[in-house]
Each structure stands twice: as structure tokens, then as C-alpha cells.
A and B are shown apart, each in its own frame.
Chain A
């Protein structure tokens, strides 16, 4: 996989911490590989919306990558509940179901961005940089350089 300039947290220069939420183990591993190529750290994974809320409370990640179609509780509802308790939460929806109505609903409920599956690493990387832009800067040559 292509290597990217590592994205670090602006406040302490540490790797960005991610929570990956998807009911497919395969999709989680795939996203994890991409995140590692961005120099990020996977702090947790969850397979449904209910677990995602619990894991967010426990781990306080910098970014959540959240699927939409999941059992028990879907991603948009989970995102809304997380943002209600943590207005600063950065949640990026990652789903194959990307119709306009769904995207608008996700953004209205607090998600910061949307990435459609199949995920292209270069697209996700740009979204991560955008979402983290106020608090992080690309650390040129650090770790996973181009």
C-alpha cells in the first residue's frame, strides 16, 4: 500500500488515535491498514453502534471511522449519540450507502465527513487531514514518509 506523510496531532505531535466501527471484520482490517499507512494508531474497534458508543467513552479517540449499515444500532444514530455527549467528537462516516439523504442526515447529526466504499486510501487520507486540520499538521518525513 502507498505510504503517506504521517498526520500527527498538533498539540503533542503524537499519532492520531482512531476508533474503527464496522460490522465487517474484513472492512475494519482494511481500514486499519490504511490508517497505519497514514501513521495513525488504532486504539479500538467496534462491530455495531452500541459498542461504538461504549468504546468512545472508554477510549476518547481523536477520530471515529463509522459504518452506517450495522446490526443493533446503525452508524448515524450512534454518531448522533456520541456527538450529543461529546460535541467535539470527530466522526467520519464510511459506508457503501452514500445517497444524498443519508449523507445529509449524517452531517446534520454531527458527523464531520463522509467517505463512500470502496474506500480509496488517497481519498480517506485527504478527509482525515481535513477533519484534523485545526489540530494537526502533516509531519513531513516523520515515520511513514512518502
Chain B
């Protein structure tokens, strides 16, 4: 998988989570995955379509999800407030993935991001050879966040297409 597609997601997750928690976030692990995704806590899934297609799963440990919901809502959120906690995770997924998509679009990758949906099943979709997933684990003082990024790149950016065309003509 191309790291130039992945880096904006890492940067965005780092920035948005650090701002929400007002504490540093560190990347604990990065790994490639072809097996079905196994959910850890409260998870949201966002689909991308266009030159880049695929999906991103944003998965937050329950304890951390409650803390994030409380911080974002400005009030103490209990574990029993499931709707609020789930909404918070979906909104954070939207912010993180939206910010990453912003960076990628400004770099010339054109695609569309869809609204997040809650992932309730224990297992997510299995990656294929074309859409091998990168799983990143981000560590915070209150728990872990997992992002499973499975993307398929359809087209070269216009700049790259022109470069390749120039080489073939030479």
C-alpha cells in the first residue's frame, strides 16, 4: 500500500485526537492485514469512492470512547449513554478521515467521502490483495485507537499521468 495515501490519515488522527484529549498521542504499531477486521471497542466505518476507493474503520477502546465523548460533549458521559458514545466516535471518525481526505484532495487525489456508519458486527470485511489493509494502533493515556485503512487506487494523478506520457513519448 502506498504510504503517501496513508500518511495523511496518521497525521490527521494524531492531530484530532491530541486536540480532543489535550494530551499527546503516539503511534504504537503499524501492520499490514489481509484477514477480516476484528472490532476492539466502539467502531465507525467510512467509505471512499472515486479515484481512491475503499473503507476506513475507526475503532476506539470503550473507556477512551467514553472519555472522548465526555470531552467533546463538555459533560460527563456514562458508559450507559451508548448513543452519545457512538455518536462521538462517528463524529471523530468523520473529522479525522475528513481532514485526511482534505490533504489528499489538495495533493491531487480526487475522491468522495461518505458519512460514517456505526460498525456493530464483531468482524469487518476481509481485505483482498488489491485492498490490503493497513492497521495502525494509536496509544493514548486512556486507551487505544485502531484505524484499519483499506484503499484501492484506481488512477494516477493527472500530474503523474503527464509525466508518464512525457517519458513514453521521449
The docked-state distance in angstroms from the alpha carbon of A22 to that of B12 is: 21
Contact A101 B95 (CB under 8 A): no
Q: Which of A10-39 contact B (CB under 8 A)?
A: 23-27, 29-30, 33
B19 within 8 A of A: yes
Q: Specify the chain A residue showing the minimal Cβ separation from B103.
A: A99
Number of A-B residue pairs at CB separation under 8 A: 68
Contact A97 B88 (CB under 8 A): no
Q: Specify the chain A residue showing the minimal Cβ separation from B87.
A: A26
Q: Which of A80-126 contact B (CB under 8 A)?
A: 95-102, 116-118
Q: Of the candidates A33, A97, A101, which one forms a contact with B113 in the assembled complex, judged by CB atoms under 8 Å apart?
A: A97
CB within 8 Å of A: which residues of B?
A: 16, 19-20, 69, 72-74, 83-84, 87-88, 90-91, 94-99, 101-103, 105-106, 110, 113-115
Pairs A–B under 8 Å by Cβ, sample size 29: A24-B91, A24-B94, A25-B87, A26-B69, A26-B72, A26-B88, A27-B94, A30-B74, A69-B115, A70-B115, A71-B115, A96-B94, A96-B96, A96-B98, A96-B102, A97-B101, A97-B102, A97-B113, A98-B98, A99-B103, A99-B105, A100-B105, A101-B105, A101-B110, A116-B99, A117-B94, A117-B95, A118-B19, A118-B95
